[in-house]
Amino acid sequence: MEVGGEVESALLRLNQYRHDGVRAPHKPLLVLLALGRLAETGSSRLAWTETADQLADLIAEFGPSTRTGRMQSAAYPFTHLRTDAVWELSSDVPMDKVATLVDNQVVGQLTSDIELALRGDSARITVLARKIVDAQFPSTVAPDVLLAVGFDPDLSEAESTGQATSEPQRRRSAVWRAGILAGWDAACAFCGFDGSVGGAPVGIEAAHVRWFNFDGPDDLDNGLALCSLHHKLFDRGALGLSSELHVQVSSAFRAVGPGRAVYELQGRPLDPRPGTQVPAARHIEWHRSQVFRGTPLSS
């Protein structure tokens, strides 16, 4: 089985609930953990009792907010990934049962044919991990995910450059980026930062409200100009927007030093120049339900 063929296809096409853009990165995060273990040790074996907390933390940090308990969230991919024919468990346990996973000291791992195709080829494993992450997260978040599962994001980026893929790739629009920056006067829509070097904006980025890799269109009503800090905080769910186009700061955000300046953004209205298309309500709602963490601070 070749990495560029059946293995890549199987691991990039996991069954995930994606109705109307709902994010469910649970299975990909488990696969990434297994790939990290495979690259490090030559085996993807993950014992539930040793992995549950780490997997639960990954889902809590990089998944959407949920009321599901931590261990229950981790038990879902650990048991359901079997249905994708890429994962094996040491015991035939029922789905989602945390107690059964503990009692049977269950161990999971990638199937033997996947391990055989990847074992000993750390470069290919790294490229595959990068592709999985890029399919699930924006570029502001992808390096954090890779680090959390044991990969060097800089190495991942370098090794994936020029790699062929069997799937046609949707291309990002350079015109969209230019339009967003122009529409917001090349200044951060949240804090107003407008630095430039030689007349060219620096530290100012075009940010999708609904993520590009979750069918977010390159439309002017799906973007904001944000400084690199607030772009990352927006994509990590620490910042959001209300339906009235006021900045919201998540109650999950914490700072004790200079970062407390972020609190001052709570309730700040967007102030676009006349004629600028502001983010559409449907994109704001997607971000609120799939990215923003918890509830906003009180204004």
State pLDDT tens for residues 35-75.
999 999 999 999 999 999 999 999 999 999 888 899 999 99
Q: Are residues 274 and 221 in the same domain?
A: yes
Of 56, 88, 87, nearest in space to 74 by CA: 56
* pLDDT score of 157: 63
Q: Can you give the pTM of this predicted structure?
A: 0.84
Q: Tell me, yes or no, whether 263 lies in a domain.
A: yes
Question: Quick one: 142 and 11 in the same domain?
Answer: yes
Under 8 Å CB-to-CB from 23, ≥6 apart: which residues?
Answer: 63, 64, 136, 214, 290, 291
DSSP letter assigned to residue 84: G
Do residue 151 and residue 256 come from a single domain?
no
State what percent of residues in the chain have pLDDT above 70: 93
- The residue behind tokens 């309730």 is 267
**For residue 105, is pLDDT > 90?**
yes
Q: What is the four-CA torsion angle of 194, 283, 133, 165, rounded to 10 degrees?
A: -100
Q: Is the pLDDT of residue 114 over 50?
A: yes
Residue range of the domain that includes 283: 174-290
Instruction: Please check whether residues 215 and 134 belong to one and the same domain.
Output: no
Q: Please report which residue ranges of the chain form alpha helices under DSSP H.
A: 8-12, 26-41, 48-62, 70-80, 98-103, 112-118, 122-136, 142-148, 153-160, 174-183, 228-235, 281-290
Do 145 and 191 lie in one domain? The reply is no
Say what the pLDDT of residue 251 is: 96
User: Residues 95, 189: one domain?
Assistant: no
| Angle 181-185-189 from CA coordinates, rounded to 5° | 80
Same domain, 282 and 196: yes
Verify that 284 and 215 share a domain, yes or no.
Answer: yes
Residue where a domain terminates, one of 97, 125, 160: 160
Number of domains within the chain: 2
